[in-house]
Structure 1
Amino acid sequence: MLGPVRNASRALSPACALVLGLQLCTGAGLIVLPAPAQAQEQQREFDIPAGELSQALQRFARQAGVQILFPYDQAQGKPSRAVKGRMTISAALQRLLAGQRLVVVKSDRQRITLRAAPAGHDPRTRQRRATRRQSVPRPPPPEPAPPPQPIEIVVTGRAVSAPLTVSETSYSLTALSRSDLDLSAPLSSSALFRQIPGFWVESSGGEAGNNVRSRGIPTDGFSAVAFAENGIPVQYDGALGYLNTDQSFRIDDTVARVEAVRGGPASLFMPNAPGGVANFITRSGLDEQGGRITLTGGDNGYRRIDAWQALRLSEEWGVVAGGFYRRDGGRRPPSYTADSGGQFRLSLDHRSAGNSLLLDLRHMDDRVTFYLPVPLRLDEEGEPEAIAGFDPLRDSLAGPETLKLPLYNGRMPTEFDTSEGTHTRLTALTMRGMLSLGGGSEWHGGLRWRTSETIRNALFPTGTPMTGQSYLASIEDRMKAAFPDTASLALRYALDGTEFPAEAGANGLVTGGNLLAVSVPLDEVLAETKLTTTLEAAGRHDIALGISGAHYAYRFDRYMGTVLLEVADSARLIDAVALDAQGGIAGRYTDGGVQRYGSIFDSARMTVDALAVHASDEWRMSPRLRIDFGARWEVNRIDGQVAGQTTLDLGDPSTLADDQILAPDGTIIPVRRSDSGFGWSIGGSYEMSPDLALFARYTRSFRLPSASNFNTTPLRTDQKTVPITMAELGANYTGDTFDLSATAFATHFQRLPFSDFRFDFATNAYVEQTEIADTRTFGAELEAFWNPAGPFEVTVQATLQDGRYRNFSFTQVMDGEPVHRVFSGNRLIRVPRMAVRAVPAIALIEDRLRIELTGEYFSRRFGDIANEQALPAYLLVGLNLRALLSDRISLRAHVTNLTDTLGLTEGNPRNGSFDAGSSTGEYFFARPEFARTVRLEMAFEF
């Protein structure tokens, strides 16, 4: 195996060193202006010092947990009074607006809109007449007069911090407030994407290791969708092999809200994000006071505690501390603790005289199970159903006999531990800041250092379930050739030698399983520095010029052994033996259930230096018309080493399991390459009226090759920069009782590599094939919110899309013969044409009791590129409940998959992504949604 090639402490490249030096010299970072969380008409702690009104209103929004829209020119420079104490949102707003020429024209549970008061108007009279609606006051319709343009702060998908309304954005953005997160309680950071149209999420892998796709993007994992934390990437490249971004981040109560951008300008300001970015914005001790402890319990032994505390140290300094700890028996319990661990955060905020500084430390030590496909069968009508003796929603192949097994890591004997699951130990230190230069200019910067060690162990099912007799027939020739005295073959349980199956009523099925262990330690430094300024020339220009750099180094070590299992919950290991004429054992195909020791071995060391330059201009041509455009140039240099391989025979003549162990041969294959890309985007928005705005955008983006593409094939030449074209046209409407956001989009990927990584059950080895093709997708996204009179409301999010492969034809060797395959025109793998999420809700007892019913529908999909393995449509029903027992105590309940629907999210990629075989066979593997889950939460505010 290889020793370390380089680590993050080595001398940085000149470009990265330059960017890092700028951060340390300026002490700067991007300012994050948290916006709204959902309002509750309960008492909250407010601490808004006297000062300038526009800043006071922004502080009010953060502390109240609402979006606040107001005419900026009517508030800028105006003095405001201090508001301090525990009170309702409406009372705090009334005090803040006392004596000001601003009135409330619309308010609901998420947003409050202000406008300049007409001449002769007394805002205190309007406030007294205001009627209560939802959780904040909703006044009668305003006097007829065109209100000035309101201002709402949007921070994601932009390079400047100038206030911006949602109607002015020229891209699709969805904001999830803290209350949204509390009420929906996503079971993983990936699962929250279910609340965002345009994204297709496979969150059936558990709390980590899932797949997210956006707008027809045909790649898995997080290769084209980025996670950001306070505007800085959680991980520069989310496509690193076996190190998805969601393994590096957990949602907890220190997150104040999430902003998600689909497509659009995400690729300009965030690396590896052509499909979009989810920006997790954390709490600030300057904007919030107090704290909360939340206790959660659920089925299968789920226990969790979340806590956070915010404290204002002075007018200029604030601190937040918090995190979580959790233990869980598992969504499909494997007979041992499936998940355990937690995360801790400590943040220090400073703001004064227009400058800001954020220091944030996050440490995570968490172990979660990676859930994989389960065995199923087809009924007479071709619909999937359970196999006798195995519940696909609650049973697990993993169990006591596969918990710890002796395998080989190259030439080294080792013990494989399934209970390690996906175990991540991570520490990240972040510095962000802003320095006012005067004259409308600002210097921004951000710096994040991260070190982590990730282990990913799991039992991967292979092939298809088959009868014991079919399995013996498949190995008969090899057994007779190896053991000439063979008279018959038999299957026996590995631990006690009894015959398989033990019970007459058992299903009699066996399957292969890969015990795969991967280790990916990563050290990473990310840095960005940026200058923003405002110019007046034919309108207002908010201009930004930035440079960012990254340096990261990782090791990739992987080994695997293949076992034979019965198809049952907590499956037992099976031995295949050759019997002589007297019934004695002449030889063994397996060894203690192991079919092949060392069926995979890989060892690689990679270092990547990345440099990007971006520039943008947000041009306000008139009060109604706004145009923005920008460009990004990026270059990555990959430098690494990959160990060569050979095959060993350990020399045990009684078994075939040790005949072909993959191990290092002592050679080193170097990797050295550089790739670059240039992208640009232009968009515009036009406000037709105060309630309706239109936008359009065209983007030419790219995706650079990932270093992990060379972990196992260092000499490959099929990896190039992938050009990506995106276009979108949308409308945003905001009415008194109805909000609507609709977007039509088109995406085109060119020269995209598609890999078929298929496990050959006959040889117990992987076979890989890569082909180059294009994809094109047309679709539409919709978000609607209807809040009629009374306690009812409905939220609907929908995505309609038709994604197809283009220029996809190749020759494939099948059964020793070349076969020409044509996949052009086939639908994209696993992406539904229709995905709809509807959430009807009712708020009772002055919003102290809220009940939501969630319905999620996903249309028919295909588990392979050949469109041979159909995955049926399905509907998931859930329930969320929140009860305010007092001003400081709340009770929440969450039920997912209420009806125990067997919804299949993917087939079994180990059987091949090109052609997994048609669904005409009786047995197959697929990964379903989880069974019904019930969780109860009790939250105590202080």
Structure 2
Amino acid sequence: MQSQKFIKAPLAAVVAILCSAAGVQAQESSAEIKSLEEVVVTGRAGSSALQKAEASYAISTLNSDALAAANPQSTADVLRQVPGFWVESSGGEASNNIRARGIPRDGYSSIALQENGLAIQHDGGLGYLNADQSFRLDETIERVEVVRGGPSAIFASNAPGGVVNFISRKPYDATESIVKVEMGDYGHTRIDGFYGQPVGEDMFFSVGGFYRQNDGVRDPGFTANDGGQVRLSLGKRLEEGELFFDLKHMNDTVAFLLPIPLTTDSNGDVAAVPGFNANYGTMMGPEVEHNVYRNLGNGYDFNLGDGTHTELTQFTFTADHRLGEWDLHNTFRYRVSETLRNGLFPTGSLQSAEERLAEYSAMLGGIADLSIRFANDPSATFDLENNAGNGLVLNGNLLSVDVPLDEMINDVRLTRTFDMGEQQHDVAFGIYYADFEYDFIRYMATAMFEVAEQARLLDVVANIGGQEIAVTEHGILRYGSLYDNVHGTGETTALYASDEWQVNDQLRIDGGLRYEMITLGGSVEGKHVVDLQQSASLADDQFITGNGEFTAIDREYNEFAWTLGMNYQFSDDLGAFARYTDSFRAPSTADFNGSPQRTDLRVEPIKMMEGGIKHTGEKLDVFATAFYTHFDNMRFTDWVFDSINNEYTSKTAYGDTETLGLELEALFRANDMFDFGLAATFQSPEYKTFSFTEASGEVKDYSGNQLIRVPEMSYRGTAGFNLLNDQLRGELVMEHFSDRYADTANTQELPAYTTWSLSMRYDLSEQMALQFNGHNLTNEIGLTEGNPRAGQFESADAGKEFFMARPILGRSYTASIRYNF
């Protein structure tokens, strides 16, 4: 197959690189510490120190310098430096998507975000509550460790694709103090700070956080991102252990960016529709920033300026203690949060105003005299053929979801290292426990918009016998077009064990087991449709609301996962590893939000294999991993919005997926002045079997198609240079992503694209530095998703002149000054 050749070619290149590297004479490296010599703590439970070179799984590490140089604009952006992860960070500073090794799951439902080894949120894909909404990167974080696949599913729940561990600064030995002020060309101001100092010989205290405000690269006409967080930490070294306390409070608002109207130019390239800027435009605007919409009471207060607003308080306590020949490690975390997600979700497909009026005429029994007006300026003339330069209209859902979450997580384990003859075993036995409850309260109104930046609301008016009848009210086509009222609970107890067996100086074998017991509960309110009879328009005639009758959620799942891996060191600077993992992804409480009695939810078995080689030298470091991922009975749901009836319809189907791929990390140090880094992924992600029968009896078969929104090839090259006696450090970054598809049928292509970014850091002194970052320097219009609400099985936008899709953010610049004192 062509895809297999696609994988074999890069693999042959890696072997050639390693062979040639063996002949390079030893020279002084510009890096003080080679990456493979780093001690890693993620993806294992053992008590002995483990270097990256000794790990039997793929792991990437990012230190504070790497994070500062990249200056990521979101949590998802951090992972752009890691191979194997397809990152969609076009949604703004939060609520983005990560797909690991071809796993076609949205949000963070296949990887776990951790702080200091414990999950930030037990279920990272808990229905409108992505884990990245609960985390912001700031100067309190010292480094990041990222495990791809491997043993992640043994030591973390809901993490078949990997674990991302953010590790805090612990200034036990010296005072650390940082102040950074950053400005950007999109009304951006950010202040970061960190102060930590030893208290006596065996304690430290630290405080840090940030505050940020900006209009967003896509300016909605109001403040898009506003807020910050603060963290207090206290550590105490014991004679044989450690105590660590951490308290974090976040109060932050970020805009959620969604698809925008696009077209193609004469060359077939993606372009903006007339009157819209694809790099900086958004449909959000002042007209929908703050309104009160009809409901059964006094109205629903909807504020788009709230965006995704998270208020969170999190307490963490970690205790390490020596118990004879055993080590006890316990981490406890409690969080209480409330996340409000308000957004403007474009729905359906773009239409000309004349086409839309024809549809409404047919719906209203053939009424011919229909007109469109601006909802907030009825006297202004709406140009049917060329309003905003395009004459197009679009429906949009003004959606509000409130998700309070109360969660407790505890992970306790006993570890011991012992010798059996000349061999060493590092064993661990652990219990993981998580208990949470949340509410899911959703309200939605559907409106009609012009197609323009900061779009205005439109009204449709019918003239019958000289009497005007309003089809809409203040732009609203339907109040209460979606409703949910859910109280959910979840309890997970997992027993796990592992053994890292050092057979001899060269061979290390490790294995792990996890048995997970999951109980899901709660209740879901039923729904019915009522006529509010509050408006003379049709907008409140079909209002969905609760009926006061609740149905219980009551499900249990007991599942087993295991892994076996090995690492062989040919020499201090060359090793190889291999691993097999059998894991699963169980249903989430959120899967029952809309239908508590559904019986089609199944545990999804996952099989993963990987094998890799690791080389470190004076000139070249290489970490190459071949991987295979197979999902059985994976559930796919297609939610399509009907723009005539203003309601969602859905269908669910099951299929198997398979991905064969190669990940490559490399760093070449030419001399003290120049280095080049590469992070690349080559893969063949496909639906192994995926067919179903439509209600009409038509059989759809998408077997063999490329997985939705996952590229076959992506790579990131970083050319770094050091000048002026190392006072100036610059990095030019090129990223390329191959073609993808917005739908399972592979009918709507998301074209390949390439971006360029620049980072410059100048050290004014040992304490003070200036930094400049430029993102997407060429203003590339790179599409990361199509219009999911037009169909993810088969997109209704495919082949159309005008379509909806979500591009990356346009060119932006930031500059900062950082002072360490």
Q: Aligned partners of 1:721 and 1:412: how far apart in 2?
A: 43
Q: Secondary structure at the match of 1:708?
A: helix
Structure 1: how far apart are the matches of 2:186 and 2:464? 47
- Which residue does 2:4 correspond to in 1? none
1:705 to 587, 601, 607: 587
Q: Which residue of 2 aligns with 1:348?
A: 234
Contact in 2 for aligned 1:151/1:164 (Cα 8 Å)? no
Q: Quick one: distance in 2 between partners of 1:468 and 1:365? A: 41
Distance 2:762 2:368 in 1: 70
Distance 1:473-1:861 versus aligned 2 partners, 3 A rule:
same
1:693 to 556, 575, 579: 575
Letter in 1 for 2:461: V
Task: Name the structure 2 match of 1:111.
Answer: 33
Q: 1:559 to 1:504 in 2, by over 3 A?
A: closer
1:818 positional shift: 3.4
For residue 790 of structure 1, report the CA deviation from its aligned partner.
Answer: 4.0
SS of residue matched to 1:193: helix
Structure 1 residue 477, shift from structure 2 partner: 2.1
1:909 and 2:795 aligned = no
- CA deviation after TM superposition for structure 1 residue 659, in Å: 1.0
Letter in 2 for 1:109: A
> Deviations for 1:7-56, whole angstroms, at most 9, x for unmatched residues?
xxxxxxxxxxxxxxxxxxxxxxxxxxxxxxxxxxxxxxxxxxxxxxxxxx
Aligned residue identity for 1:314: G
TM-superposed deviation, 1:505: 6.8
TM-score of the aligned structures, taking structure 1 as reference length: 0.83
Q: Is 1:461 matched with 2:340?
A: no
Structure-2 separation of matches of 1:569 and 1:808: 39
- On the 8 A contact 1:775/1:803 being kept in 2, the answer is yes
Structure 1's consecutive aligned runs of 4 or more residues displaced over 4 angstroms after TM superposition are: 104-107, 409-412, 502-505
Distance 1:543 1:889 in 2: 46
Letter in 2 for 1:593: G
Q: Kindly state the Cα deviation for residue 286 of structure 1 after the two structures are TM-superposed.
A: 0.6
1:508 to 2:391 alignment: yes
Q: CA deviation at 1:920?
A: 1.6
Deviation (angstroms), 1:718 = 1.4
Q: Secondary structure at the match of 1:392?
A: coil
Q: 1:676: Cα distance to partner?
A: 1.7
Displacement of 1:713 = 1.3
**Aligned residue identity for 2:629:** T
Q: Which residue of 2 aligns with 1:17?
A: none
Counterparts of 1:410 and 1:771 in 2: how far apart (Å)? 36
Q: 2:387 and 2:547 mapped to 1: Cα distance?
A: 48
Give the match for residue 11 of structure 2: none
Aligned-pair CA distance for 1:588: 1.8
| Cα shift at 1:106 | 6.6
Aligned twin of 1:22: none
Letter in 1 for 2:268: G
Equivalent of 1:384 in 267, 270, 273: 270
Q: CA 1:151 to 1:202, structure 2 compared with 1: closer, same or farther past 3 Å? A: closer
Cα distance between partner residues in 2 of 1:790 and 1:274: 40
CA contact (8 A) 1:479 1:578 kept: no
CA contact (8 A) 2:139 2:193 kept: yes
- Residues 151 and 576 of structure 1, relative CA distance in 2, 3 Å threshold: closer
Which structure's CA Rg is the greater one? 1
Match of 2:363 among 470, 473, 478: 478
Q: State the identity %.
A: 43
| Higher mean displacement: 641-650 or 715-724 | 715-724
Distance in 2 of aligned mates of 1:408 and 1:238: 33
Structure 1 residue 153 corresponds to structure 2 residue 39: yes
| Rounded Cα–Cα distance in structure 2 between residues aligned with 1:459 and 1:647 | 23
The alpha carbon displacement at 1:807 in A equals 2.4
1:840 corresponding residue in structure 2? 719
Number of the residue aligned with 1:887? 766
Q: Which amino acid aligns with 1:809?
A: S
SS in 2 for 1:480: coil
Match of 1:645 among 517, 527, 537: 527
Residue by residue over 1:249-303, the C-alpha shift from the partner in whole angstroms, topping out at 9 and shown as x without a partner, is: 0000000000000000111101111000110000012144221100000012100
Task: Tell me if 1:828 matches 2:707.
Answer: yes
Query: Given residue 576 of structure 2, which amino acid in structure 1 is its aligned partner?
Result: L
Write the mapping of 1:673-752 to structure 2, written as runs, cut at 5 A: 673-752=555-634
Which residue number in structure 2 is paired with residue 559 of structure 1? 443
* Cα distance change, pair 434–897 in 1 and its aligned pair in 2 (3 A): same
Shift of 1:410: 6.1
Q: Assess if the C-alpha contact under 8 Å between 1:487 and 1:581 holds in 2.
A: no
Q: Answer with 527-536 or 547-556: which moved more.
A: 527-536
Stretches of structure 1 lacking an aligned partner (at least 5 in a row): 1-103, 114-149
Does the 8 Å CA contact 1:410/1:601 hold for their aligned counterparts? Answer: no
Matched, 1:797 2:679: yes
- The equivalent of 1:597 in structure 2 is 479
What are the residue-to-residue correspondences of 1:755-834 with 2, within 5 Å? 755-813=637-695, 817-834=696-713
Task: State the Cα distance separating 1:478 from its structure 2 match.
Answer: 2.3
Q: Distance in 2 between matches of 1:412 and 1:705?
A: 37
User: 1:717 deviation in Å?
Assistant: 1.1
**Residue equivalent to 2:746:** 867
- The 2-side partners of 1:780 and 1:304 are apart by 38
Q: Residue 663 of structure 1 aligns to a residue in which SS?
A: strand
Matched, 1:300 2:222: no
Residues 359-438 of structure 1: pairs in structure 2 closer than 5 A: 359-408=245-294, 413-438=299-324
- Provide the secondary structure at the position in 1 that maps to 2:287: helix
Counterpart in the other structure of 1:338: 224
Preserved CA contact (<8 Å) 1:226 1:270: yes
Alignment partner, residue 447 of structure 1: 332
Match of 1:250 in 2: 136
Is this contact kept in 1: 2:610–2:626, CA < 8 A?
yes
Equivalent residue number for residue 7 of structure 1: none
Structure 2 residue aligned with 1:622: 504
Q: Which stretch has the larger CA shift, 616-625 or 380-389?
A: 380-389
Q: 355, 359, 372: which one pairs with 1:491?
A: 372
Give the TM-score taking structure 2 as reference length: 0.95
- Partner secondary structure for residue 440 of structure 2: strand
Shift in Å, 1:466: 1.2
SS at match of 2:746: coil
Structure 2: which amino acid aligns with 1:648? V
Counterpart of 1:13? none
Three-state SS of the structure 2 residue aligned to 1:818 is coil
**Contact 1:228–1:277 (8 Å) recurs in 2:** yes
- For 2:496 and 2:84, the matched residues in 1 are separated by 26
Q: Could you tell me whether the CA contact under 8 Å between 2:405 and 2:436 is conserved in 1?
A: yes
Q: What letter corresponds to residue 341 of structure 1 in structure 2?
A: G
Q: 2:732 aligns with which of 821, 837, 853?
A: 853
SS in 1 for 2:365: helix
- 1:221-236 to structure 2, matched below 5 A, reads 221-236=107-122
Instruction: Call closer, same or farther: CA 1:674–1:395 in 2, change over 3 Å.
Output: same
Q: In 2, are the aligned partners of 1:255 and 1:281 still within 8 Å (CA)?
A: yes
- Take 2:124 and 2:195, find their aligned partners in 1: how far apart are those partners? 31
Structure-2 separation of matches of 1:908 and 1:383: 18
Distance in 2 (alpha carbons) for counterparts of 1:784 and 1:618: 27
Who is 2:96 aligned against? 210
How far off is 1:831 after superposition?
0.4
Equivalent pair of 2:735/2:755 in contact (CA under 8 Å) = yes
Contact 1:155/1:161 (8 A) holds in 2: no
Partner of residue 815, structure 2:
936
- Which whole-Å CA distance do the structure 2 matches of 1:832 and 1:453 have between them? 35
| Count of aligned pairs | 793
Q: What residue number does 2:162 align with? A: 276
Partner of 1:544: 428
Unpaired stretches in structure 2, ≥5 consecutive residues: 1-25
Paired residues for 1:13-28 under 5 Å: none
Query: Is residue 157–residue 265 contact of structure 1 (8 Å, CA) maintained in 2?
Result: yes
> Would you say the 8 A contact 1:676–1:704 is kept in 2?
no
Partner of 1:525: 408
SS at match of 1:866: coil
Q: CA deviation at 1:412?
A: 5.7
**CA offset at residue 408 of structure 1?**
3.8
What amino acid maps onto 2:713 in structure 1?
M
Give the counterpart letter for 1:217 in structure 2: I
